[in-house]
Amino acid sequence: MSNQQEQYNIDFLVQQLRTSQDNAVLKQTAKHLGFLGANNPDVIAALIHVVRTTIDEPTRWAVIQSLSAIGTDNNDVIQILIEQLNTARIPTRRIAAQNLAKIAVGNQYAITSLISLAQITEEEHTRQYIAYSLGFIGKGNREAVNALIDLIYKSSDEYTHNLCVDAFKNLPEWNKDIINALIDVDQTAEFHTRLKMLMMLKKRGVNINGYTSASSFRPLLEKMKEEINQPE
């Protein structure tokens, strides 16, 4: 296909997105543009328009998938996905978070935007999807880690805590702030979070003999904290 023919096809599909009211047409058009419209600002703008205007959830999901296919590290795409984390219905939030985790790893705009949202939201599902997304895109970023720590203290939700703990497991080092947050989690954690913490401690070479997922890990965590920055 020539460049001229490809551009004609793209223009035609963008026009369909802007004018059609048929959800089947919108989904199929979005799918085609997910292959043709990489980094094309007109395509991205048209897809974002559909995300913001459609009332059909499966159509929104299809469009989000196409946006993510063509918009890696694109701040406009990142922005609309973060909007969905905060305002959409739960299935759409989940899809937005999963795609954000794919396209925005290490992206400072995404990290900063999620941190800003974490600071103002009191909605627990939003906190959960922020924790999930930051865990993927903010690995090793100190501001992202601090935001996850803050979410632990702000939230009493088990799943939010679980996602924050999950984000810490692959960090090369834990500082005292992380350990203090894990001590806080330890007070109320249920089975799945405790099992995750137990496996994390084992992975870090901590002697967990005698400990189970029913145990309190505070003594182990306190010992780890004492050993940080201690002279040999």
Q: Is 221 inside any structural domain?
A: no
Instruction: Summarize pLDDT for 110-129 with one digit per residue, the tens.
Output: 999 999 999 999 999 999 99
Q: Is 47 inside any structural domain?
A: yes
Please provide the size of the chain in residues. Answer: 232
Phi first, then psi, for residue 142 (nearest 5°) are -60, -40
pTM metric for this prediction: 0.90
pLDDT at 1 over 90: no
Instruction: Calculate the average pLDDT of the chain.
Output: 93
Q: Is 48 inside any structural domain?
A: yes
Q: Is 166 inside any structural domain?
A: no
* More confident site: 229 or 114: 114
Domain harbouring 88, CATH code: 1.25.10.10
Question: What residues make up the domain containing 31?
Answer: 3-161
What one-character-per-residue DSSP string does 137-163 give?
Answer: HTTT-HHHHHHHHHHHHH---HHHHHH
Q: What percent of the chain has pLDDT over 90?
A: 85
Locate tokens 């989940």: which residue? 94
Tell me, what's the pLDDT at 196?
A: 94
Tell me, what's the pLDDT at 36?
A: 83
Q: Is 167 inside any structural domain?
A: no
Considering its fold, how many domains does the chain have in total?
1
Query: Going by C-beta distance under 8 Å and a sequence separation of 6 or more, which residues neighbour residue 186?
Result: 194, 197, 216, 217, 218, 221
Q: Is 189 inside any structural domain?
A: no
Q: Binning pLDDT at 50, 70 and 90, where does residue 200 land?
A: very high
Tell me, what's the pLDDT at 38?
A: 80
Instruction: Summarize pLDDT for 61-75 with one digit per residue, the tens.
Output: 999 999 999 999 999
Instruction: Summarize pLDDT for 157-173 with one digit per residue, the tens.
Output: 999 999 999 999 889 89
H helical segments located in the chain:
3-19, 23-36, 41-53, 57-70, 75-87, 90-103, 108-120, 124-137, 142-154, 158-168, 176-186, 191-203, 218-227
Q: Is 18 inside any structural domain?
A: yes
Residues 193, 27: Cα–Cα separation, whole Å? 38
* More confident site: 2 or 46: 46
Instruction: Summarize pLDDT for 8-17 with one digit per residue, the tens.
Output: 688 899 999 9
Q: Is 230 inside any structural domain?
A: no
